[in-house]
Amino acid sequence: MKAEQLIHEFQIGEAHDLKTQIAKGQEAEMLATYQLAVLHAAEDVENSLTTLSKQQEQLIALQDGENALKHAQKIALIAYKKGLTVE
């Protein structure tokens, strides 16, 4: 009877150890999933900031072009009113 009790206690201990290992494995998997989600979120933020920066540069270039065209238009209008021609 004592041998059977020892075997039973040993089996319970093994089952408990196995459950603990499974729980630790699940915890590690959840942590890895969370870390991956945070990494992807950081990557999304970085990509968005890069896109924003490029769009701001593009806006400045377009505004500079618009200003140059307005200036050229003013000069052309003045020249037209004075009867000047470009040769």
pLDDT in tens, 30-79: 999 999 999 999 999 999 999 999 999 999 999 999 999 999 999 999 98
**What's the predicted TM-score (pTM) here?**
0.59
What pLDDT is stored for residue 64 in this prediction? 97
> Residue 79: which residues within 8 A CB-CB, separation 6 or more?
85, 86
Q: How far apart are CA 66 and CA 54, in angstroms?
A: 18
What pLDDT is stored for residue 41 in this prediction? 98
Q: How far apart are CA 58 and CA 72, in angstroms?
A: 21
Residue 13 has pLDDT above 80, yes or no: no
What pLDDT is stored for residue 44 in this prediction? 98
